Structure 1
Amino acid sequence: MEFVIKISQFLLSLSLLIILHELGHFLPAKAFKTRVEKFYLFFDIKFSLFKRKIGETVYGIGWLPLGGYVKISGMIDESMDTEQMAQEPQPWEFRSKPAWQRLIIMLGGVTVNFLLAILIYIGMSYYYGERVLPVENIKDGLAIESTVANKAGLQTGDKILAVDGEKIETFSQISEKVLFGSKILIERDGAQSTITMPEDFLAQLMDSKERGFINLRQPFIIMEVPDTSYNKASGFKKGDILLAVNTHETKYIDEVKEALDGLKGQEATATVKRDNQNINLPLKINEEGKLGLVYAAASTSETLEALGYYNYVTKEYGFFESFPVGLKKTKERLSSYWDQLAAIFTPSTGAYKGVGGFKAIYDIFPSFWSWQVFWTITAFLSIMLGVLNLLPIPALDGGHVMFLLYEMVSGRKPGDKFMEYAQMVGFFILIALVLFANGNDIYKAIFN
């Protein structure tokens, strides 16, 4: 069932993005009286799952879910229809239209992608509001769960105040900013200092295969006292929160290990919180510094807030208030993705090792159905699709735009033969990128 839920979200999001992107090309093409021969969701190599001709356009669904396309008459695209291009230009063809009209047609897809992201963020801001944890409400600093981050200079208890001169406002911004940042302004024991991250920090992090990175410090909550536990008779119960061992405060999980290190093989007194009361219980520590108790961290932000660890802020927005909020979120996600893309194309960062294909996108979706999560992911994927399509690679929208801008500035139109060769080069570049990204997925699935 989990697979069905994940794949359903993946295909629904992908289909929505493809149809709207291609609609962004289709509508201005029709507005400028340019013939559109095909409008396809997914690729129809050899055969289609469904197709129907309405007017001059064949609408269909292909069997290969790697994208979609509109085939516009008189345009050198992935169809490589050189036979049509060898004939005399017709008034309804793309190549017969003024350069400014062709430019609008080519920019239509990415324009829809960015508009879709804006609309989603506006709608989510209005419907769901926003629940955030301001950094000033993280009183005791963060949990640094990565040894790579520790070696770079970050320690549990640090407060991260700014990255590359940009002030951090909420907890949700921290991990991403640090991943792609260089200068990290921290506060430790009341004193501020700046940490310079290694250029290949991302590569080190991925090579380490560590799951944790930067998180909130969490309470030590007892979930089970096994029958074989040497603390079975001590009186611990499910839900007890360990607050102290002897006089050593253990408000957070990371402090429990520190408290137990000097008490191996000894007995101590544990202070636990139960039903809003503090209770003292006898505690046995084995020679390895273990307690024989099954514990967990708080599972949700609501739990952490109810326990008094962090104060979240819930913001609700009116209809008109949601518009600037949605625009701001789009701008932040767009800026963030540009930073990621820049890191990927900078070999020294090692960020290319984290590039993923369709499996990586599939894995983003949760194994439960949540419209809020679905729309959040879809908005980001829409931005990602828009940015990638703007790359100046022949065969992508950005490649066509690049040649159109050249034509508009120079007054000279690139020849059809040149465009055919450029399209072929761009196609091979795209195939190489797709193989690399999905090859990374396979490699990680096998070796991680």
Structure 2
Amino acid sequence: MSPILVKAIQLFLSLSILIILHELGHFIPAKLFKTRVEKFFLFFDVKFALFKKKIGETVYGIGWLPLGGYVKISGMIDESMDKEQMAQPPQPWEFRSKPAWQRLIIMIGGVTVNLLLGFIIYAMVLLVWGKEEISQDAFPNGFAVAEQLKQYGFQDGDKILKLDNEKPDNILNVSRQLVVRGANTVEVKHANGKKEVLSLPDSLGTYLYTQGALYPLTPRIAPVLDSIIPDGPADRAGLRAEDRIVSVNGKAITFWDELTHKIKNSNGEPLRLVVERNKLTDTISVKPSEDNTIGIAPKSPIKREDITKKSYSLAEAIPAGVKFGYWQLRDYVSSMKFLFTKKGATEVGGFGTIAKLFPDTWDWQGFWMSTAFISIILAFMNILPIPALDGGHVMFLLYEMITGRKPSEKFLEYAQMVGFFLLIALLLYANGNDLYKAIFK
């Protein structure tokens, strides 16, 4: 099955699960407070529904437009914009007739479910599959350091011992932590054996992101090819998997980062590579493409013995899952600052970007990890104080509870319309970015 189709199916299933459970977060407290729920829909039923059935006072159904879902609660200004109902005198079973604290619980129910669901899924993944950890020993030659980091004292060949006095459990995550989470101090061991504690500015993450240094620390590995892009410069020149690059233009090559540095600075000029293959050497000329790449990928140095698997009991998995989910949420919120940069605005993505979170082949562990992450993202996005989102309703309810004055229904109608159009604009922009990248990049 095509990887694109596998990703699409996983995305569809994941979003369906999350939407239903999110709406249940509104539905259940609404019913507990004896508030009438007129509709419960997966996806939007604009003009018509694929399926619907009325059970009791509620119509349950599946719409044809897969952009979300909704519950229509009587006496509430929502995306249905049912002005006719709101023009009638309030009824005891309507949302607007309930105390503010009950309305608040109904509105935060969806976000609460998404947040707790993310924590629960992470805990269950740890319980079932455990967690793989990769120690510093997997990379005896340390890290190659991006130029943007060297001004702070980092050197090629550094080993990362601690970030903010904590030893990293997975050494491959240190780049992400520096860019997204940040660190005030990093203890390193230089190639000469000297240990040093480096101090870093709070703005380092944004600086690295805007400079395009998303992976400022990459493992220093041997220049051995793992795969070649078909019909790329390397493929046309005759390079093959398992080839080891010995030198470039007469300059000896020891590590992969030295090879990529030579390629990036080639300015499109042909490169003379000395290649070792089956214990024999050969000289191959490669002309880089316009973006100074030749279409090669390195062979991973990680061996099975470098990976340790940590198992969890149920009592251990629950707090570990909550902790993992907390850091995923915190990292995601921290990364939002990048949106206010020129580069960040162009990286906003829609459904295509979300689909990339899922593995190319069906893998339940990967599916549930991605689902948990999306659930946490949905919780954060929905609680933003934007009209038409749960957070917008919560904002107006908190205003009412603090001031004792309820915003007029006319004001809420206009706010709902403004929020709705903002969300549509964002949706079009995000998915437009995906389409642009798919066509032109």
Give TM-score scaled by structure 1 length. 0.79
Please give the per-residue CA displacement for 1:359-387, whole angstroms capped at 9, x wherever unaligned.
11122222210000000000000000000
Q: Read off the aligned partner of 1:123 and give its amino acid letter.
A: M
Task: Tell me, yes or no, if structure 1 residue 91 matches structure 2 residue 92.
Answer: yes
Task: Tell me, yes or no, if structure 1 residue 322 matches structure 2 residue 317.
Answer: yes
Compared with structure 1, are the counterparts of its residues 312 and 426 closer, same or farther at alpha carbon in structure 2 (3 Å cutoff)?
same
**Of 327, 339, 343, which residue of structure 1 is paired with 2:338?**
343
Q: Read off the aligned partner of 1:304 and give its amino acid letter.
A: I
1:321 aligned counterpart, secondary structure:
helix
Match of 1:171 in 2: 171
Contact 2:139–2:221 (Cα < 8 Å) also in 1: no
5+ long unaligned stretches in structure 1: 225-236, 275-280
Q: Distance in 2 between matches of 1:59 and 1:67?
A: 15
Compared with structure 1, are the counterparts of its residues 439 and 167 closer, same or farther at alpha carbon in structure 2 (3 Å cutoff)?
farther
Match of 1:217 in 2: 220
**Of 363, 366, 370, which residue of structure 1 is paired with 2:359?**
366
**Of 303, 306, 310, which residue of structure 2 is paired with 1:305?**
303
Shift of residue 176, structure 1, vs aligned partner: 2.3
Alignment of structure 1 residues 45-444 onto 2, 5 Å: 45-135=46-136, 138-143=139-144, 156-160=156-160, 168-180=168-180, 181=182, 185=186, 187=188, 188-189=190-191, 190=194, 192=196, 193-194=198-199, 197=204, 199-205=206-212, 214-221=217-224, 252-254=255-257, 281-285=279-283, 297-299=298-300, 304-306=302-304, 311-344=306-339, 347-348=340-341, 350-444=343-437
Match of 2:236 in 1: none
Q: Distance in 2 between matches of 1:121 and 1:267?
A: 47
Compared with structure 1, are the counterparts of its residues 163 and 304 closer, same or farther at alpha carbon in structure 2 (3 Å cutoff)?
closer
Shift of residue 304, structure 1, vs aligned partner: 1.9
Moved more, 334-343 or 121-130: 334-343
Q: Distance in 2 between matches of 1:109 and 1:282?
A: 63
The percentage of counterpart residues that share the same residue type is 49
Q: Distance in 2 between matches of 1:258 and 1:435?
A: 38
Q: Could you say what the CA RMSD is over the residues aligned between the two structures, in angstroms?
A: 3.8
Contact 1:200–1:350 (Cα < 8 Å) also in 2: no
Shift of residue 423, structure 1, vs aligned partner: 0.8
Q: Distance in 2 between matches of 1:62 and 1:153?
A: 57
Compared with structure 1, are the counterparts of its residues 161 and 317 closer, same or farther at alpha carbon in structure 2 (3 Å cutoff)?
same
Q: Read off the aligned partner of 2:18 and give its amino acid letter.
A: L
Contact 2:177–2:183 (Cα < 8 Å) also in 1: no
Please give the per-residue CA displacement for 1:4-42, whole angstroms capped at 9, x wherever unaligned.
322110100010010000010000001111000000111
Q: Distance in 2 between matches of 1:222 and 1:404?
A: 59
Q: Distance in 2 between matches of 1:349 and 1:258?
A: 26
Please give the per-residue CA displacement for 1:228-274, whole angstroms capped at 9, x wherever unaligned.
xxxxxxxxx986878999xx997743467899xxxx98999x7x9x9
Q: Distance in 2 between matches of 1:243 and 1:93?
A: 76
1:395 aligned counterpart, secondary structure:
coil
Between the two proteins, the alignment pairs up a number of residues equal to: 408
Give TM-score scaled by structure 2 length. 0.80
Q: Read off the aligned partner of 1:366 and give its amino acid letter.
A: P
Compared with structure 1, are the counterparts of its residues 217 and 22 closer, same or farther at alpha carbon in structure 2 (3 Å cutoff)?
same
5+ long unaligned stretches in structure 2: 228-239, 263-270, 289-294
2:49 aligned counterpart, secondary structure:
strand
Please give the per-residue CA displacement for 1:124-145, whole angstroms capped at 9, x wherever unaligned.
111001101134654322245x
